[in-house]
Structure 1
Amino acid sequence: MICSLTIKNIALIDELHIEFGKGLNVLSGETGAGKSIVVDSMNLVLGERADKELIRHGREKARVEAVLHIDSAALADFFEKNELDAEDELILSRDLSAAGKNVCRINGVVVSLAALKELTDHIIDLHGQHQHQSLLYAKSHLDFVDSFGKETILPIKQAINGLYDRLKDAQRQLEAVGGGERDRAQSVDLLSFQIKEIEAAGLVAGEEDALREEREKIMHAQTIAQSLSSGYEALYAGSDEGGSVLSMLQEVVARLSEITHYDERYRVLADKLQESVYTVEECAHDMRSLADDVVFDEQRQEEIEQRLDLIHSLKRKYGADEEEILAYLQEAEDRLYKLQNAEKVATELAGQIEGLKKELYGRYIALSEARKESAGRLGEKLLAELHDLGMPDAQFQARFEPLKGMDEAVYTRNGIDDMEFMISTNVGEPLKPLSKTASGGEISRIMLAFKNLSAGMDHISTMIFDEIDTGISGKMALTVAEKMAAIAQERQVICVSHLPQIAAMGDENYLISKHTEDGVTNTDVVRLTKERKVAEVSRLSGGIESESSEKYAQDLIQNAARFKAGLPGTGK
């Protein structure tokens, strides 16, 4: 939902901040007060085309910012594709300049206009100006039908997904063994050479690290031998200047042994030092043995260098380490087998593909039949809604193109149907695409009917209606107001209206007005209190300020409250 909208330097608006609520938000005001400016500003932040003429006279820049609360999980693919953090609170902004510069941001990150529109197309519908209306796009019609009949259609689509994955896998395998005889022969030669080269090397996992360690020991053999020998001398043999560490320890132990009977602590100390004697003696013997083993082997060093060069060469061709090279070997052997048996493998895969296509096509037929049944039910319910909304002569059809045959079909996850919603709103008019419906008021009511049927079916969290009340009044106005209130139980609705019935139904009401000060005209928007709401509904009713007009407004508001209290989900 849209939590707030901030507008700066747009047309008659100097600076304006509107905080919207849940449910039905109604904006009203005198003709010319600036209602269209607020809608134009919403269009800007939703990614519609910008006109620099919207910038307030005398200003160089304009800005519109909207704070939204969304279900980020439902838009995870969008955030990942655009490398944005998925957050439930979004700040969308758009800056315009008189020089023509246009900057869009999502949570402070500059994005393209297309990305901004892609995001808002999924969460907001704006009805009334042939803009930002998801159902006007024919590509969305099948999705609407599928959602409407999801109990029957979803299981079929899930089965199609599984078959489609298997088909694409088989096609990839066939492509891998495909190509002409010359191409296969060249591939066989290359793979055979690679396999022989890797096998001849006799690689062992972890071998390179072991070789590098051995090379280091050979290269520093003299230093290692000297260190071990001098260590042995110091511990065991001693030097001309003094005795060995071992002999000195033994002398200390002997002296302590003479006094152990005087105090138990002396005996414990003597025992500990005796253990040290054994340890030093053992270490000295180990050092001598290790020193004897150290040999500078120039031939072995050369062998190691050659082996490391070979491993490095294989790594440049086949993988980052021995494990990856050996994995490549396994993969190459599998590919070689398929190429050497290409004719047999290709025949088997072609048979699999044909069988999968046949099975998929059968599912496509079932999906198409389910869609037509769903579209039929949708049409009946939609016409009933349109009848309620003052369009009793409307006709509707979900027009399906004839299905292509199995050999002509293009296999996709979404079936092979091509369908578009067709509508006629007046007697004598032919059915034509929904996107070609001319009247803004008719489109808004059609969208209202669709959205009343689709509550809970999509991720659209906010609907914005402009000109929804064109050409209607009286009982029809009340019907439109009731349907908008019903939709507002499931999602946020923002409506610009001049009808008292819709204003009375509002959960939040706003008055748009303009005033002139020092020769400058400004548009303002204020949230109405209960008392001011009564006054505004009275004004919209066309009555003069009197007790009777106020009583009529109060009656409208009370009736609206009773209607909303009886709606499902109100908990009343």
Structure 2
Amino acid sequence: MLLELSIRNFAIIEKQTISLNQGLTVLTGETGAGKSIIIDAIQLLAGGRGSAEFIRHGEEKAEIEGFFQLTDSSHPAILKAREFGIDSEDNAIIIQRAMYITGKSICRINGKMVTISTLREIGRKLIDIHGQHEHQELMDPDFHLPLLDEYGGPEISEALAEYKHHYKQYLETSQSLKKLSENEQTMAHRLDLIQFQYNEIKNAELEPDEEDRLLEERQKLSNFEKVHQSLSNAYGSLNNENTGLDWIGNAMTELERIENLDEEYQQLSDTVKNAFYLLEDAKSSVRSQLDMLEYEPERLHDIEARLNEINHLKRKYGKTIDKILEYGAAIEEEIDTILNRESHIEKLMKQLDAVKKEVLLAGDELTDIRKKYALSLTEAIHQELKELYMDKAVFDVRFIETNDASDELIRQDGLDKVEFYISANPGEPLKPLSKTASGGELSRIMLALKNIFSKHQGITSIIFDEVDTGVSGRVAQAIAEKIYRVSSGSQVLCISHLPQVAAMADIHLFISKEINEGRTKTSVKPLEKAERVEEIGRMISGKELTSLTEEHVREMLEQAEHIKAVIV
């Protein structure tokens, strides 16, 4: 769960540290006080899109830091972090994000700098934010199939992976056939091009390690004068009279006279002898190098020409000789395919027919599993809606039949098109969710789905941003209880204007803003029991707290404690 959130110079928040805990945390306050700004900050920790506009006016950067304490080392976020080489000591993850006025954004996880995409992959395992945009997603049928797949868990996931394996083969074969079936004029142009390229590579007669050898030889020839001078000087120093070897030979002779007198003299004598004979060998080697040394300006010219030819081919066909040869082999195979086009087309058509049968079979198996879970999901949602006073509603996960040919049915995510249908009122026909549900109904359906899916996701922190829009009365109470039920398995942060939700909070944070020296800033204050009574009373009446309202609030809080005890 998210234990601590630190925000600095973010929008109208100057500096704020918020301590959180397990269970349900509710954020309340006047409109515009900064409740959603806190959610925006958390969203950035999950890899949301940043902007210099978030930075407090007059500051150079905004900083956000979140400390997450996870249950064990097998938590999905820790496993995902490990994939990116990020260690998690004591099962903790610390995310830091800084945004600069220049537009630069820096992200760190446990001190290691990461990209936004990496942050997003790990963040989505930690934080799940639901707000009005999720209502929009719920209205979009394209999101319904992924929701069903998520509900199906490992069984659907395994079947989908098997389907995608066959789909990849089908797609590759289909694309190869399409490419080979292009019109003859296009194919002839392609053949001319790659035939020219193949001949150019073949005629070059490249060898894998040729460039390294040429560069080494060029190095020697380019430095001929320097090499010759140094070898000559070295040979002279070793071979001429009264030079290196003569003096070492004298030393060896002198030490031989006394080597039998003492063990240390013997060791010294042996050392000098070894050095003498080694230098003798070195002298011979230097002489051999001098004898072999021959300046060949024509050879240097040939090497330069050959290296230029290799560089020309590298610019066209690959960064190394190996890459050029690989490309040559690939186009040689393509040339053979084009020259024997008809037989290859026939072969690919048979291959496509076989892989198509496989992908359709895997797709049918996936559909059967999806339909099984669709029935289970429908029953679960009916139960959830019943608890949210939509007991007359009829929900259906509908598999949309199409008249598409089988080739058009084959898609990356399977053969199915799924859409959620609902009838909110008795006697009304089932219609697509996107065309029938009101704002309040969408809030309840989304919350029903969240309560179901939270049991499957293992998300650390779930955030509801005003998901109770458009409801009141007993429905509001039912939503409050449903949100608390979600919090029994995950940490939940909830922005709400409903007193029923605020009354169910384990932690109640009051968000307010004040003007100090001409600047507006947001503050966050945990409310004690008496302060909660006052704040919930304000949410009910919008005015000063009367004794009647206070009594009503205290009754709400007592009732909430009783309900929470039953839920737990």
Q: TM-score range by the shorter chain?
A: 0.7 to 0.9
Do the aligned residues in 2 keep the contact of 1:123 with 1:461 (CA within 8 Å)? yes
Q: Distance in 2 between matches of 1:288 and 1:523?
A: 86
Aligned to 1:146: 149
- Identify the match of residue 89 of structure 1 among 90, 95, 98: 95
Structure 2 residue identity aligned to 1:89: I
Match of 2:71 in 1: none
Instruction: Look up the match of 1:200.
Output: 203
CA distance in 2, matches of 1:265, 1:514: 89
Deviates more, 1:13-22 or 1:365-374: 13-22
Describe the SS at the equivalent of 2:412. Answer: coil
Task: Tell me which residue corresponds to 1:52.
Answer: none
Normalised by the size of structure 2, how large is the TM-score? 0.74
Equivalence for 2:174: 171
Q: Secondary structure at the match of 1:563?
A: helix
Of the structure 1 ranges 426-435 and 521-530, higher mean CA displacement relative to structure 2 is found in 521-530
2:51 — aligned with what?
Answer: none
CA positional deviation for 1:414: 0.9
Q: Match for residue 489 of structure 1?
A: 488
Contact 2:35 2:495 in 1 (8 A): no
Q: Which moved more, 1:194-203 or 1:527-536?
A: 527-536
Give the counterpart letter for 1:396 in structure 2. Answer: F
Cα distance change on mapping 1:482 and 1:291 into 2, 3 Å: same
Name the counterpart of 2:90.
none
Q: Per the alignment, in what secondary structure is the counterpart of residue 345 of structure 1?
A: helix
CA distance, structure 1, for counterparts of residue 516 and residue 295 of structure 2: 98
Whole-Å Cα distance in 2 between the matches of residues 326 and 193 of structure 1? Answer: 15
* Aligned residue in 2 for 1:25: 25
Shift in CA distance, 171/278, structure 1 to aligned 2, threshold 3 Å: same
Aligned to 2:245: 246
Residue of structure 2 in register with 1:371 after alignment: 370
**SS of equivalent residue, structure 2 residue 353:** helix
| Aligned match of 2:188 | 185
CA displacement, residues 198-243 of structure 1 (integer Å, 9 cap, x when unaligned): 33333222222222333343444455444434433432342xxxx3
Question: Structure 2 vs 1, CA of residues 180 and 262 (structure 1 numbering), >3 Å: closer, same or farther?
Answer: same
Q: Is the 8 A contact 1:358 1:406 kept in 2?
A: no
d(CA) in 2 for partners of 1:306, 1:104: 47
Q: Tell me the SS of whatever aligns to 2:456.
A: coil
Letter paired with 2:420: F
- Are the structure 2 counterparts of residues 435 and 103 from structure 1 closer, same or farther at C-alpha, using a change threshold of 3 Å? farther
Q: Which residue of 2 aligns with 1:156?
A: 159
For 2:30, the equivalent position in structure 1 comes to: 34
Q: Give the superposition deviation at 1:124.
A: 4.2
Aligned to 1:294: 293
CA distance in 2, matches of 1:152, 1:260: 86
Indicate conservation of the 8 Å contact 1:27/1:496, yes or no. Answer: yes
Aligned partner of 1:212 in structure 2 is 215
Q: CA RMSD in A?
A: 4.8
Distance 2:261 2:513 in 1: 109
The equivalences for 1:364-443 within 5 A come to 364-407=363-406, 409-437=408-436, 439-443=438-442
Aligned positions of 1:507-526 closer than 5 A: 507-511=506-510, 526=525
Q: Which segment is superposed worse, 552-561 or 479-488?
A: 552-561
**Residues 62-81 of structure 1: matches in 2 within 5 Å?**
none
| Cα separation, 1, equivalents of 2:555 and 2:304 | 100
Residue of structure 2 in register with 1:472 after alignment? 473
Normalising by structure 1, report the TM-score: 0.73
Are 1:444 and 2:443 matched, yes or no?
A: yes
CA gap of 1:402–1:69, structure 2 versus 1, over 3 A, is: farther
Relative to structure 1, the CA distance from residue 530 to residue 341 in structure 2 (aligned partners, 3 Å threshold; closer, same or farther) is: same
Q: Does the Cα contact within 8 Å between 1:27 and 1:35 map onto a contact in 2?
A: no
Looking at structure 2, the residues matched to 202 and 517 of structure 1 have their Cα atoms a distance apart, in angstroms, of 79
Cα offset, 1:326, TM superposition = 2.1
Judging changes above 3 Å, is the alpha-carbon distance between structure 1 residues 406 and 249 closer, same or farther for their aligned structure 2 residues?
same
Residue 235 of structure 1: which of 213, 234, 238 is its match? 238
Give me the identity figure in percent: 28
Q: Indicate conservation of the 8 Å contact 2:504/2:561, yes or no.
A: no
What is the aligned partner in structure 2 of residue 82 from structure 1? none
User: Do 2:77 and 2:126's aligned partners in 1 also have CA atoms closer than 8 Å?
Assistant: no
CA distance in 2, matches of 1:233, 1:521: 87
* 3-state SS of paired residue (1:184): helix
CA contact (8 A) 1:26 1:508 kept: yes
2 CA distance for matches of 1:353 and 1:24? 55
State the 1:103 CA deviation: 8.5
Q: Deviations over 1:140-184 (max 9, x none)?
A: 111112222335533331221111111122134334534333333
Match of 1:559 in 2: 562
| Aligned residues of 1:513 and 1:523 also touching (Cα < 8 A) | yes
> Secondary structure of the residue that 1:205 maps to in structure 2?
coil
- Partner letter of residue 245 of structure 1? G
Aligned length: 523
Question: Match of 2:455, SS?
Answer: coil
Alpha-carbon distance between aligned partners in 1 of 2:463 and 2:245, rounded to the nearest angstrom: 88
Find the counterpart in structure 1 of residue 464 from structure 2: 463
CA distance in 1, matches of 2:407, 2:238: 90
The CA deviation at 1:131 is: 6.3
- List gaps (5 residues or longer) in structure 1: 49-58, 80-86, 96-101, 566-572
Distance apart, 1:488 and its partner CA: 0.9
Distance 1:535 1:188, change over 3 A: closer
Unaligned runs of 5+ in 2: 49-56, 69-75, 85-92
8 Å contact from structure 1 (residues 125, 134) kept in 2: no
| 8 Å CA contact retained: 2:25, 2:493 | yes
AA aligned opposite 1:361: L
Q: Is the 8 A contact 2:496 2:502 kept in 1?
A: no
Contact in 1 for aligned 2:398/2:421 (Cα 8 Å): yes
Indicate conservation of the 8 Å contact 1:34/1:523, yes or no.
no
